[in-house]
Chains A and B, each alone.
Chain A
Amino acid sequence: MENLLEIKNLHARIGDKEILKGVDLVIKPGEVHAIMGRNGSGKSTLSAVLAGNTNYTVTEGSITYRGQDLLKMSPEERSWAGIFLGFQYPVEIPGVTNVNFMRTAVNEHRRQKGLPPLSAAEYLKLMREKMAYVEMDPSFSSRGVNVGFSGGEKKRNEVFQMAMLSPLLAILDETDSGLDVDALRIVANGVNRLKTSENAFVVITHYQRLLDYIVPDVVHVLYKGRIVKTAGKELAAEVEAHGYDEFE
């Protein structure tokens, strides 16, 4: 099967600090990958680079997404092409309502595909359907994007947005951080409902507990900017039991 994403020898830095020091990763449609690692190992940098955050500079290596050079694409082009990043710290945008934000996003996606914009009624129908995935109250739609949302509500909002955009490659950056068990289950269920044989997920986490709900096909350990070990889902339990010291 054709690769969805192929990362070769990726080096990236923020300012003068090199964070990724040669990452290689191949993801095929239908797969769920987990990337585990300590704070500062480069997990968030990898997701930021994949989404096109210009605070990070790629100094070496390549990323190919569905045969295209991903590094040449703007963040919005990546989104249109099916990449979605679930933020570790979702951004608050006071004054922009959730509904206005997502309708603009959905309609831009449709415009790129040559489809007419959704009417208000069509949008509301779709929104209610997808909000149900994450047990989100429709009253959230009239609030400012993430403004005054609790940690759990912000993460649910991320998964809701993902459901609205149906990405081919979703990267979830520590979606489990700051979640209690109930919220974790809701978020994980939302993700599982979106899984198909066409799309792939990269779940970035410190802990195994999210991986009890979203079961990965492949687990990678990122250490000091490199993937130092790749194995099946049993690797997550091993990391949980022994920590990251063995990769020193």
Chain B
Amino acid sequence: MEEFRYIPKNELFKCSVDLPGARKFFVWDGVPEGLPFREMPALDVSAAFDVSSRMERMEYPVCLECVPKKAVEIVPEEGVLTQVIFVRVSPSEVLGRVRINCDRPGSYEVVLCSHTTGQERFSTKETVEVNVCGGAKLDLVVMQNENSLSVHKSDFRIKAEENSSLKINIITLHAGNVSNRLQCLLSGKKAECCLNGLYLEDGEQNIDTDITLIHNAEECVSHQLFKGILSGHSRSRFTGEVVVSPSAQKTEAYQANNNLLVSDDARASSDPHLVIYADDVKCSHGSTAGSVGDQELFYMRSRGISESEARILQQQAFAAAVLEQVSKGELRERLSCLVERRLRGENTVCAGCGKGCC
């Protein structure tokens, strides 16, 4: 006879990234605890998104027909950090849908964390809709920390209206095969958006980042900074497209992807694009892939910093530019600490490991 043992869900995963004053919610295998879970209107696949020239050619990480009707709804409260922790428990495929709705002007902060428990092969496909209404400001941090067998495909569909401000930082500490696709539409005048990402990879990991950012109104500003540190046999692929539509005069758009290759066998591919239909714009893009600087390394070693420690300092420094973008101080410190531990090859399971760091 098989023995069953009941383990309450809240015993399975303890998040100790304890952010004082935060509203904290869990989502277990796609099902939320304490947050609304209800039917939502169909996904916005309006013509505006389709300005992108690549749109048709791209394969969606999540097929549009598969997007569930029921969505986890996150309505952030002004002045209170909302932390939602997605935990994978049973090794079935999860098709998820999440809606972050900032439908009133104000300043909002949301942290989404995704984790796996145990060493099973988890597959997660989700659509994350983010709406930032006129005059609203959203600071969203997405932290991904999963096991090396996990497959996680996220399709972010972001809409920022007039005079809104949006910042998204995606920190991928660890995972097996990740695909983050972001489609961001700046639909109203003077919308601002910062999309940043940091991905740390080793072993056989693979991380794809695919961005389509559409400036569809005048005087919008966008900044993108995506950085990757790759070791082992890991792979990363960055595809980024910024589209400036004919009406989007006085656009400012900047995009950068920098990769640090720590091992001989790691590979980074980077493919930034600008598609500009307006004539009065400031846009730039660039990408780099390189290894650690020998001069810096020698300088540090000449001060008595061992080679391995010097390499970690360099990698931390490389990551710092993205981490600095996390506005909330406590969260930034904890993420920096997790990144450091990850670079040292230590345990980054942030659940009660007793290291006192997070």
Contacts and interface: CB of A to CB of B under 8 A. Distances in A.
B307 to A, nearest CB: 7
Contacts of B305: 76, 101, 104-105, 108
B318 A90 contact: no
Contact of B301 (A76, A94, A95, A101): A76
B314 interface: yes
Nearest to A82: B304
**Most chain A beta-carbon neighbours within 10 Å: one of B301, B313, B314:** B301
Contacts of B304: 76, 79-80, 105, 108-109, 112, 165
Contact of B299 (A55, A93, A104, A112): A93
Contact of B309 (A53, A75, A104, A144): A104
23 contacts: A51-B298, A53-B298, A55-B294, A74-B307, A75-B302, A79-B303, A84-B302, A91-B298, A93-B296, A93-B314, A93-B317, A94-B317, A95-B316, A95-B321, A96-B314, A96-B317, A102-B303, A108-B304, A108-B305, A108-B306, A108-B309, A144-B317, A165-B303
Interface of A: 51-55, 74-76, 78-80, 84-85, 87, 90-91, 93-96, 100-102, 104-105, 108-109, 112, 144, 161, 165
B320 interface: yes
**Most chain B beta-carbon neighbours within 10 Å: one of A52, A85, A96, A101:** A96
Contact of A91 (B299, B309, B317, B321): B299
A100 B302 contact: no
Interface of B: 294-296, 298-307, 309, 313-314, 316-321
A79 B302 contact: yes
Given A76-B306, A76-B307, A96 B301 contact: no
A105 B309 CA distance: 10
A104 B298 contact: no
Q: Which 8 A-B pairs have the closest CB atoms?
A: A95-B317, A79-B304, A91-B299, A75-B301, A105-B303, A95-B320, A96-B317, A76-B301
B256 to A, nearest CB: 14
A91 B295 contact: yes
Contacts of B301: 52, 74-76, 79
Contacts of B298: 51, 53-54, 75, 91
B316 A96 contact: yes
Contacts of B299: 87, 90-91, 93
A74 B303 CA distance: 11
